[in-house]
């Protein structure tokens, strides 16, 4: 168990809908990362927050947004969902923003868009 908690574990929703994925980082970790894993795209970095502030942005679509709250949990909002958004979404956390910090992954949230 990495200590990173993600909910929900599985989610099925229709095209055009909006969903929110939630992440609680490991105790003491200030950085939260979101990744998308799909068969054709591999593991894609979406966005990173450090202590409530956006720190780095990757291949995140405009339909997606995220935030990190004062208690350090994070939410990833996915809107106007398309079939191609079906994927495994991972949250990860690390102690801080130093490049050598290890990031620890949650078990992921399986999103299926039908």
Partner 1 sequence: AQSVAQPEDQVNVAEGNPLTVKCTYSVSGNPYLFWYVQYPNRGLQFLLKYITGDNLVKGSYGFEAEFNKSQTSFHLKKPSALVSDSALYFCAVRDDNYGQNFVFGPGTRLSVLP
Give yes or no for residue 25 binding partner 1 (CB under 8 A). Answer: no
Place of tokens 């995140």: 60
Query: Nearest approach, Cβ of 105 to partner 1 (angstroms)?
Result: 4
User: Which one of 33, 34, 87, 111 is in contact with partner 1 (CB under 8 A)?
Assistant: 33
Among 21, 30, 19, 11, smallest CA distance to 71 is for: 30
Establish if 24 lies at the interface with partner 1 (CB under 8 A).
no
- 68 near partner 1, judged by CB under 8 A: no
Nearer to partner 1, 79 or 110 (CB): 110
Residues 61, 39: contact at Cβ < 8 Å?
no
Residue whose C-alpha is closest to residue 72's, from 97, 48, 52 = 52
- Residue 73, interface with partner 1 (CB under 8 A)? no
CB 64 within 8 A of CB 78: yes
d(CA 73, CA 24): 5
48, 68, 74, 93: residue in contact with partner 1 (rule CB under 8 A): 48
Say if CB 81 and CB 16 are below 8 A apart: yes
Considering only 24, 31, 68, 93, the residue that binds partner 1 (CB under 8 A) is 31
Q: Which residues bind partner 1 (CB under 8 A)?
A: 2, 4, 31, 33, 35, 42-43, 45, 48, 50, 55-56, 58, 90, 92, 97, 99-100, 102-108
């Amino acid at each position: 168990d990495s200590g990173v908690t993600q909910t929900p574990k599985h989610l099925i929703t229709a095209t055009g809908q909006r969903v929110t994925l939630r992440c609680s980082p490991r105790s003491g970790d200030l950085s939260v990362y979101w990744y998308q894993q799909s068969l054709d795209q591999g593991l894609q970095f979406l966005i990173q927050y450090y202590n409530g502030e956006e720190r780095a942005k990757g291949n995140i679509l405009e339909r997606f947004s995220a935030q990190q709250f004062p208690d350090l949990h994070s939410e990833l909002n996915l809107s106007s969902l398309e079939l191609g958004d079906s994927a495994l979404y991972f949250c990860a956390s690390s102690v801080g923003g130093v490049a050598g910090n290890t990031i620890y992954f949650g078990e992921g949230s399986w999103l299926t868009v039908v």
